[in-house]
Amino acid sequence: MPFIALVQTTGDDSRRVPWAIRNQGFRAAVNMYYTRFLPERPPMMQWTTPLAPTNEYPLQRETGDLLTNDGFTVEYESLSGKKFRTTVKRVGNEMKTTLQKLD
């Protein structure tokens, strides 16, 4: 089963993007959409490329804090067509991640 997580990247390289979505599961994730926040617009779902296990997709156009009041959401499918949703919210100083099976 795939499991997509929001990760904050770190390191000394100034070209690195501060946020990425990473497949921490054991199967590929396809048909992926994540919450994109644009200034002065409501959140929208943005398509992204499929992710193999352990791969990550840098969120290059996302510069602010992705953990707004509504949280960050990514929806995706396994290769067998099962649908999932990962939601990440900030609770105090911690990131809380939940996984939902949508089927």
- Give the number of residues written for the chain: 103
∠ Cα 6 10 13 (to 5°): 130
- For residue 34, the enclosing domain spans 4-101
Amino acid at 88: V
For residue range 13-49, list pLDDT tens digits in order: 555 567 889 999 999 999 999 887 666 767 778 889 9
Number of domains in the chain: 1
For residue range 43-70, list pLDDT tens digits in order: 778 889 999 999 999 887 665 566 666 6
User: Looking at beta carbons, which pairs linking 37-43 to residues 24 or more positions away fall under 8 Å?
Assistant: 37/62, 37/64, 37/66, 37/68, 43/68, 43/70
Q: What's the pTM?
A: 0.82
